[in-house]
Amino acid sequence: MPDDTRRIADRYDLLEPLSHGGMGDVWRGFDAVLDRPVAVKLVRPQAVTSPQLAEEFEKRFRREARVTARIQHPGVPQVYDAVLDESYDQLFLVMELVDGVPLTAYVHPGELLPVSWAVAVAAQVATVLSHAHEVPVVHRDLKPSNILVARDGTVKVLDFGIAAILRTDVTKLTATGSPIGTYQYMAPEQVRGARVTPSTDLYALGCVLHELLCGRPVFAGDSEFQLMTQHISAAPTPLRQLRAEVPAELEELVLDLLRKAPEARPVDVQAVYERLRPFLPSPTDDAEDTEDARLPGEAGPVGAPDPTGVFRRPYAPRSRAGAVGARATAAGTGPDAAGAAAPMLPPAQREELREQIREVYEHCAALWDEDRFSQAAEVVGEMIETAALVLGSESKAVLALRRRRAFSRQLAGDHRAALPEFEALADAYARVAGPHHEATLDCRAQAARCNGELGRATEALAGLRGVLDSVRSIDGDVSENAVELRRDIGMLLLAQGRAAEAFNVLDPLHEDLCLVFGPDHDLTAEVAETLAVIRLDLDGDASSSPT
């Protein structure tokens, strides 16, 4: 672990800040025990002036977290842990790390979002709220900065339960006694400090949908007091006065959500979803087929994810491995970047880069020793980007780093991510070192093993046999690589139920192992045990006995 990395609870490493907010800062972190990335939110409760109040705060968190954990929906990032620091000054909330962009990044008065885009976001939020309100859990602080759009278009609602944890009606932990929430999205009853219900979230959803459709908040007072007054007594401007192409039914829905009295709003979030449905694409719509027919401005922000996709293609499978490889190429680490010339560095800077790479290898080795392979892949990946810009994506040092990242992913069990990396590395090594170079063959073999782990037996066998042919031509039949490849081929055949073919591979392998390593060698014994099991299977099926 680098010297400047902060660790809390002897488990969570704080790696870099992600965002800043009124309730605290969010850091990208890593769970050293479960070897996974996490988000760590540093909550700063006001007026926690004694260990007794801090302990009460922590107890409240655990109560609320248990309730929040009952919201079983992919749009709700899970809260994993709460850690109170020794000074009783900060509570660290450890949560699922979401790769997404907050809605605030897409709201601009001069660049209005497509109506379908805004409605799709609101519909996904409504779906999340329906699961929460069933528990029941009221969000209390729904706003664009708490809503992320993930890369695949899935909407994530953050900070469920956080506002409830900080509420003021139990132990008065806030310094001012002010209600929890953000004034631009706060329902009238919330401003007054009255009882908060699911209808309070509906008002906030109306504020969010209004802003998505017209690019500006419902109210824009110069002070918190003016905003509070507007929410209590001012009438919102109808959407069609701000944007003429908004459908009348959608304008009416937003006005109903923004009713001052909770009982005047829609009866529940399911009713809101039903009124959004007519403006959502159906599963029969295809984005490519309908794009030319869209109204001007319906294409969405450039480079932004498409939240309508989950309605066009519900429960679609994840992207194929080729898409991962394409992203690697775009990042400058794929074969398309091979011809980029690396700039010449002064000796001092080149030595500094070598030292940084050496430190990364040491850090990676330490993480491997602790079986923290996913984090090792991240650590190496950060160095790859820097080194590739300076040395070139297919320099010896960068290829070695990419290989270490691929092995880290493989050891972490992420074979889907490791496969395209090994394939790209095999191609790169073949270009710079030759098709029969040890590194080329090893990357081809590892790619084949990843295919095997992913259930692609045909591709795996073809890959392993191709590598074995090359290894045999160079090092013979009983080299370390050849022996491992023969064993892997036999075991893969056996896993497919092709016992006779597996026997024909493993039986001569066992004879070679006895001659070269002896009958007591671990690998010899392993193959012998496998052959014994195969013989039992074959004795029960004479038709499949080896010839």
Whose CA is closest to 46, among 166, 179, 169, 186?
Answer: 166
Q: Are 266 and 255 in contact (CB under 8 A)?
A: no
**At 79, phi and psi to the nearest 5?**
-95, 125
545: left (phi over 0), alpha (psi -120 to 50) or beta: beta
Whose CA is closest to 113, among 296, 298, 294, 287?
Answer: 298
Q: Are 112 and 172 in contact (CB under 8 A)?
A: no
Residue 320, helix vs strand vs coil: coil
- DSSP conformation letters of 405-423: HHHHHHHTT-HHHHHHHHH
Torsion of CA 366, 371, 372, 378, to 10 degrees: 70
Helices of type H across 305-372: 309-312, 321-330, 347-369
Kindly name the residue from 13, 31, 141, 488 that is annotated as catalytic: 141
Residue 26: Cβ within 10 Å count: 20
Q: Are 471 and 481 in contact (CB under 8 A)?
A: yes
Which two structure tokens, joined as six digits, stand for 205?
């959803």
DSSP class of 42? E
The Cα 14–Cα 2 span in angstroms is 11
User: 């999205």: which residue's tokens?
Assistant: 185
Task: Respond yes or no: is residue 141 known to be catalytic.
Answer: yes
Q: Are 115 and 136 in contact (CB under 8 A)?
A: no
Q: Which amino acid is at 25?
A: D
Segment holding 81, helix H or strand E: strand 79-84
Q: Are 412 and 374 in contact (CB under 8 A)?
A: yes
Q: What share of the chain is helix, strand, coil (3-state, %, to 5)?
A: 55, 10, 35
The Cα 258–Cα 241 span in angstroms is 16
109-140: b (≥16 Cβ within 10 Å) or e: eeebbbbbbbbbbbbbbbbbbbbbbeeebbbb
Residues designated as active site: 141
